[in-house]
Structure 1
Amino acid sequence: MKRTWHHVHRPAGRASLYLRAAGKRSITGDRLPEAGLRCYIPLQQQNLQAYRRLCHFADDGRLPATYPHIMAFNLQLQLMTGHDFPFPLLGLVHLHNRIEVLRPLGGLEGLHMAVYADNLQPHAKGGTFDLVTEAQDGIGPLWRETSRMLVRGLKLEGAATPTPPDEPVDLPEATRWYADRDIGRRYAKVCGDYNPIHLSAASARLFGFPTAIAHGMWSKAMAMAALRGHLPPSGYGFEVAFHKPVRLPSEVILSASEAGPIGAVRLDGHAGVLHMAGHWSRL
């Protein structure tokens, strides 16, 4: 498909985007928009430093590998609350996330971002699509993210592709941390993701969760920060599948392979609860 692009001077304001999201509660179609959004997004040093502190990234002169996701978040919201986007934002489930660091993320004053939706597929619980975000500097592509999102209740023609069962992987413990009760609110303040399921037990119960749950991208960021000695500065992909949500508050255990060009990672709770599993590899 030949994609068309809308160039925006700056993403719409977050408050107006959330108002749009709150106003759409039902599925209105089964075709993704053909157009994507492009925008130059300047780096905000104060927000970057707050993000490093929140997710335990060292200040090594490079952007954390997950930070372009934060820079592009409003642009992603703008795409998914557009009049031609068929699915309500509230209720989407983040199933899988892959980040590719193509070149070192250093010496940047901003990034040229592109966001689009692709690859609509049937799923046992509805349908999935990929939210793709790409970042470039003046030389060319630097970074790419693919987030697979589940639209519950969507009816599509065709059979759903079965998801292979997780293979048990015995990995040494790398570290552990405590996800405290207010981490969802603190992450939202820095990163802008104010989904009610993360903010409080009361707001999470409105969406069927007994208590607030941690953001999946906070868990991934914490894992990548903890494994910074395992990963090269660029030329790698790091992908995870999100399993059981991290209920707040709770302790989680990160296990990982030894440092090397490929490796596996998993995040577990107590009593055998798997929260996240994935791997990294050279591109």
Structure 2
Amino acid sequence: MMNMGLLKAALYNPQCHKRVIPVLPLSSLRKEIQIDAIHCERYNKAVSWRLGIASVIHPNYLQVLTLPMQLEMMVNKPFPFKPMGLVHLANFIRVNYLPEQSSKLILKTSFNGLAWHKKGWVFAVLSEGFVDGELAISGTSYYLSRQQHNQVNESEALATDMSICEPHFKADNVLETASIMPIVDAVISPFDETIEINFPLGIGRKYAQVSGDFNPIHLSRWTAKAMGFKQAIAHGMYSKAICLSAVLKQEMQNSKRALAQTPMQFSTQFIQPIYLPTRCELKVNSEIDQIDFSLTSKSRSKEREHLRTNMIIA
């Protein structure tokens, strides 16, 4: 979110009455692009994408390419929520194959579902990348617009089928934001590898420069406080990207196979925010064609889980 897009997001004032269940517009966007090699390399460097398959894009790069399109859909009425301060709850990526960094892509974005959440409303945005008419990669992001409910729209929403379209995700399964605590207890297999990852102060601003996501919750303590957080937090898609870079690199070394043309999917829940600065541990458990990983940190001897990802390799 930068330049004119950021200004539009800051000024956008949706006309959504608290007693009415919001409705997502049916809008979608389509754009043809040539991947910018210089920008792609900047992104690769930011998320440590140096795997020996760096001729293809990072799985998370689709989100960066489509973010201006997502924002454009969120700054035009009748979109019912304020774009500034949205919280990224979950992300699902399906890879048929990873496009080359020199590719021409057709990008498409569309709204893909709405669900009631105890802290507000969760909506989904679907992004797709096509090469020569073939779907190469798609991603669905789930965003929480934090707001208070009243008994009227809560009861009406819970009596209505408002399930989000991806089967792996339910809005009440993700997290309880504000305090940001997980709602579900998941059984995680013992981890067979641990990698240390550092999230320094200022990484939110640095990643914003390359990703275009200038959400105030990532930029500084003061802008984050204005959005209800005690200090700046890392971008969820940065934490996922840096973890994927490490996990895919390790998987290539262990399995001795190339992954660029391999179908994969990554289902991620962002559970607790990563307050900056924080030193984290990436815990990885590998099985045949499936990898689970979790990003954690310790605060006052108490472990905090920040994200959890299930990765399936076809």
Q: Judge same fold: TM > 0.5, yes or no.
A: yes
Cα distance in 1 between the residues matched to 2:57 and 2:127 = 16
> Retained in 1: the 8 A contact 2:2–2:214?
no
Q: Does 1:278 align with 2:309?
A: yes
Cα distance in 1 between the residues matched to 2:98 and 2:288 = 18
Percent of counterpart pairs with the same letter? 27
Query: What is the aligned partner in structure 2 of residue 44 from structure 1?
Result: 36
Aligned length: 271
Cα distance in 2 between the residues matched to 1:230 and 1:25 = 46
Aligned partner of 1:188 among 197, 203, 208: 208
- Output aligned runs, 1:200-219, within 5 Å: 200-219=220-239
> Retained in 2: the 8 A contact 1:214–1:247?
yes
Q: Deviations over 1:36-62 (max 9, x none)?
A: 000112211111111111110016211
- Give the 3 Å change call, closer, same or farther, for CA 25–280 of structure 1 in structure 2: same
Query: What is the aligned partner in structure 2 of residue 119 from structure 1?
Result: 113
SS at match of 1:82: coil
Q: TM-score, normalization: structure 1? A: 0.89
Cα distance in 2 between the residues matched to 1:165 and 1:185 = 31
Query: What is the aligned partner in structure 1 of residue 157 from structure 2?
Result: 158
Q: CA deviation at 1:16?
A: 1.6
Q: Does 1:267 align with 2:295?
A: yes
Q: CA deviation at 1:26?
A: 4.9
Q: CA deviation at 1:27?
A: 5.4
Aligned partner of 2:286 among 258, 272, 277: 258
> Retained in 2: the 8 A contact 1:178–1:250?
yes
> Retained in 1: the 8 A contact 2:296–2:307?
yes
SS at match of 1:273: strand
Cα distance in 2 between the residues matched to 1:108 and 1:137 = 11
> Retained in 2: the 8 A contact 1:32–1:85?
yes
Aligned partner of 1:105 among 99, 105, 115: 99
Q: Deviations over 1:5-43 (max 9, x none)?
A: xxxxxxxx9422111111125552611111200011221
Q: TM-score, normalization: structure 2? A: 0.81
Task: Compute the RMSD of aligned alpha carbons.
Answer: 2.0
SS at match of 2:39: helix
Q: CA deviation at 1:107?
A: 5.7
Q: Does 1:230 align with 2:251?
A: yes
- Give the 3 Å change call, closer, same or farther, for CA 248–136 of structure 1 in structure 2: same
> Retained in 2: the 8 A contact 1:55–1:218?
yes
In the alignment, structure 1 segments of 5+ residues that lack a partner are: 1-12
Aligned partner of 1:31 among 23, 32, 41: 23
Q: Does 1:147 align with 2:167?
A: no
Query: What is the aligned partner in structure 2 of residue 17 from structure 1?
Result: 5
Q: CA deviation at 1:243?
A: 0.9
Q: Does 1:75 align with 2:86?
A: no
